[in-house]
Amino acid sequence: MKRRTLLGTAAASALTACANGSHTPQAKPTLLLVHGAWHGAWCWERVVLLLGNAGYRSVAVTLPGMGERRSELSTAIDLDCHIDAVSEAARAIEGPAVLVGHSYAGFVITGAADRLAASGKLRSLIYVDAFVPSAGEKASDYMPGEARTKLAATLAMGDPAYPPIRAEFFGLEKPEDVAWVQARLTAQPAATYFQPIRLDNKLGVGIRRSYVACQSPRLPVFDSTKARIRADASWIYQELQTGHDAMITSPDPLTKLLIQLA
């Protein structure tokens, strides 16, 4: 049986937030939107607007060292730093929260969910074309060997930047979308790709877990994750016929799906 999600908008401390909508007496959850590699809170702009129009609250965060926080980039920003930022943002939300992670942010929301496991704060987890890591995995495990070795070497020499790839890689088709994204992409803190994720709890115990796969065009790097999730009856699995950056290419279908899954 397949189900779906809700979103909303509110500011989170120490993070860039996009706010819209107001708290409702029905205790609707606030959706905490976490971007993937090289992106920032800006990529959720269209979804945040649609969620606000639908009466839901959302917080779109910018992770340390990225987007408008790019001046913070350093070798000290690792995966734990990103997990801490999202955990802090979730704790700052009044009422229940839904963690939504895109792409690399699957690592981040998995770690945050582990940190928040005993808080009762989380209502559900939604992965949008994202990694769903097991304990001890690193984002670099999913890189081609030659690229991984090269990035590790540059990091060892003190360079914290994993330069952004071309915007076309994210499944964007409209020239205006390609230009808009390309102008905003920033370096990923390289250390975030080499720190193994530490998990103390089984993922999402007692809360709903959903996966939204972007399939047209699909990115093969997520194939193994999608196959594992599809085979696990404890997950809700949905597909969108759009590119990887669904929040940009198909914001309306994605928003409607999030509203059903939250």
Please give the DSSP secondary-structure letter assigned to residue 69. G
User: What is the model's pLDDT at position 205?
Assistant: 87
Q: 122-128 and 57-61 as β-strands: parallel, antiparallel, unpaired?
A: unpaired
Please give the DSSP secondary-structure letter assigned to residue 192. G
- Cβ-contact 197, 111 below 8 angstroms: yes
User: What is the model's pLDDT at position 148?
Assistant: 97
Domain ranges of the chain: 8-261
Torsion of the alpha carbons at 218, 222, 225 and 230, rounded to the nearest 10: 0
Quick one: which of 106, 220, 117 has its CA closest to 169?
A: 220
User: What is the model's pLDDT at position 27?
Assistant: 74
User: What is the model's pLDDT at position 204?
Assistant: 87
Please give the DSSP secondary-structure letter assigned to residue 28. P
Separation between Cα atoms, residue 207 and residue 256, nearest integer Å: 20
What φ, ψ does residue 52 adopt, rounded to 5°? -60, -40
Q: Show the low-confidence residues of the chain (pLDDT under 70).
A: 1-26
pTM: 0.89
Q: Which CATH number fits domain 8-261: 3.20.20.70, 1.25.40.80, 3.40.50.1820, 3.40.50.970?
A: 3.40.50.1820
Strands across the sheet with 236-240, in order? 8-9, 57-61, 30-34, 97-102, 122-128, 208-214, 236-240
- The residue length of the chain stands at 262
User: What is the model's pLDDT at position 126?
Assistant: 98
